[in-house]
Structure 1
Amino acid sequence: MSTSDALSGILGWISIATWVVVYSPQIYENWRLKSGEGLSVPFVVIWLLGDLCNLVGASMAGLLPTVIILALYYTLCDTILLVQIYYYRWASRTDGDVPNATFHQDADEEAPLLASSDARHPGDEKHSSMKRQCLEYSAMVVCVVAAGVAAWAISEKVGHVEEQPKEGEVVEWRSQLMGYISAVLYLGSRVPQILKNLDTKCEGLSPAMFVFSIMGNVTYGLSICVSSMEWEHLVVNASWLAGSLLTVFLDVLVLGQFVYYRRAQAGSTVGQVERREVR
């Protein structure tokens, strides 16, 4: 096996490992908050449609069963997110709770500040919280990378076969069409979420989902490019490359929103404490 094939295989397995866990942080966050209001419904619906097109395209192209199983898994996870959103909305109405109460906890945040003047400075707590979160995400990324490398090593040891000469790649228009539709849907899905974040300030949204999404898309795109930079190879995989690498830009924008709103929130909290101390 050539170095490029080995590296492509490793990146591909890391991508698979990443996509297996990408939905987990948001599903957990919804369960923890008992609310799915941090997610934009159009975002999840369009993402679901993109995954369905990806599933159909993979089936038409005759890709490996593992790829098709993963596409089915993504579709299931999208459905779980939608079920969470509407279930918690229904539960909120049934219990008589105020909708979106999760995102308006100013009174709860101020209560301990008023109760004790010896409390830690909120700015320090926010900095410590963000530092801890960064360490947690770094540890998760390392674990996912390790799992991907281990999966590649096992697949090579268990399913190793003699290397066959590569056949010429053929552009099959039906699977290509589904691939391009999927790419457009993946790109379009981020727009309603970005707009919703302007209202919710990213509350109820898990940044880990977008960290893993970026990681999965980057490693997937690199696995295609590392395998071969020949023109026919790039043309055949152009739709999947576009859907993966262009989506990264919008996911980075979402993470930028997280950073901006967390800093703004920390600055607002510090300002409130300083005004109380002056009084």
Structure 2
Amino acid sequence: MPAMLAGSDVASNVLGWISIACWVIVYSPQIIENYQLQSGEGLSLLFVYIWLLGDLCNLVGALMAHLLPTMIILGVYYTLCDSTLLFQVYYYRWKARAGRVQLPQDVAEASTEQSCLLGDNALVHGSEIRQPSVMRVFLQYSAAVAFVMATGVAAYFISERLKHEDITPNDERDMPLEWRIQVIGWTSALAYLGARLPQIFKNFKTRCEGLAPGLFLFAILGNTTYSLSIIVVSTERGYLIRNASWLAGSALTILFDLVVRLMRRYDSHLITSRSHLPQVLGQFFYYGFVSRQRGWLDGTGA
């Protein structure tokens, strides 16, 4: 019989799988957006490359730390998504040069490397869109959240059934602090933070949105469940220090997610450039961490 997991380990793994399901949803809209527009020019290449560096560090560190499968799966998935976005940019550029795709004039002008993450051409004036009722939106997102959480729980039970019987979970709460993993972890965190700088100041200039409500919702849920997957394992000082890069990034992510969201709501009331300073600072932390500050799990599995 496979070794029984402690209650905290079960909770950690369930939360980890729910987080994976959330981040699968988070990435999908941009890839679909690029496909529909047959263009990836809404993305800054510098942003994606630095983002990819952060995810590669994340993955390498996960392998070095011998983490549980959910963390490694996340690292692989992030890297594949980055690679997919880069492939889309170069592939659609090649098709455009080859004359196989003729972009509409308005799309061609709006889709530049200076565009928002989701592309300026994806933004339509609010008066041109029929806004759904609040109840309908609430029900849609509630159903989506319920589906994602159910998927995560189901994935956990499936993974448990597929485990080999001779595999015993490692208790990594007392693992020593590994400086190499810490260096890679903080490098990953800094890469995630630095990758967004061009996008942040572009948003400051153009006041473009760049984040759909669904992205916001599932980013919050993904970061919350992933943070909890760490904390439920242990609250011992050494354990928390080993995971400090992730925990710090996660806390700031959730905090600035809410701050930036509130600031954007009142953006139309901001008149001068100086009055945008709090928003810029909020976006700096927000984009540095919410997009993908997974931080580091040196000694735990999600």
CA, structure 1 residues 168+150, in 2 after alignment: closer, same or farther (shift >3 Å)? same
Of 143-152 and 85-94, the range deviating more from structure 2: 85-94
Task: Determine if contact 1:22/1:212 at 8 Å carries over to the other structure.
Answer: yes
- Whole-Å separation in 2 of the counterparts to 1:137 and 1:263: 28
2:223 corresponds to which residue? Answer: 217
| Aligned residue in 2 for 1:100 | 109
* Alignment of 1:138 onto 2:142: yes
Q: 1:134 to 1:89 in 2, by over 3 A?
A: farther
In structure 2, C-alpha distance between the alignment counterparts of 1:67 and 1:92, rounded to whole Å: 38
> Which amino acid in structure 2 is aligned with residue 215 of structure 1?
L
- How far apart are residue 25 of structure 1 and its match? 1.6
Larger radius of gyration: 1
Match of 2:208 in 1: 201
Give the equivalent residue in structure 2 for 1:62. 66
Which amino acid is the alignment partner of residue 219 of structure 2? S
Any idea what the Cα deviations from partners look like across 1:143-167, whole Å, max 9, x if unmatched? 1111111222334455488887766
Query: Residue 117 of structure 1 corresponds to which residue in structure 2?
Result: none
Q: State the TM-score, normalizing by the size of structure 2.
A: 0.67
Residues 58 and 185 in structure 2, CA contact (< 8 A), matched pair in contact too: yes
Distance 1:191 1:9, change over 3 A: same
Q: Which residue of 2 aligns with 1:51?
A: 55
Aligned residue for 2:131, secondary structure, equals helix
The C-alpha deviation readout for 1:131-183, integer Å capped at 9, x for no partner, is: 65554333222211111112223344554888877662211110111011111
Residue 75 (str. 1) matches residue 79 (str. 2)? yes
Count residues with an aligned counterpart: 250
Q: Report the TM-score when normalising by structure 1.
A: 0.72
Runs of at least 5 residues in structure 2 that lack an aligned partner in the other structure: 112-119, 271-302
Query: Superposition RMSD on alpha carbons, in Å?
Result: 3.7
Cα offset, 1:185, TM superposition = 1.7
Q: Distance in 2 between matches of 1:252 and 1:25?
A: 21
Sequence identity (%)? 51
Q: Is the 8 A contact 2:17 2:153 kept in 1?
A: yes
**2:244 corresponds to:** 238
Structure 1: segments with no counterpart, 5+ residues: 110-120, 265-279
Correspondence for 2:14 among 10, 14, 37: 10
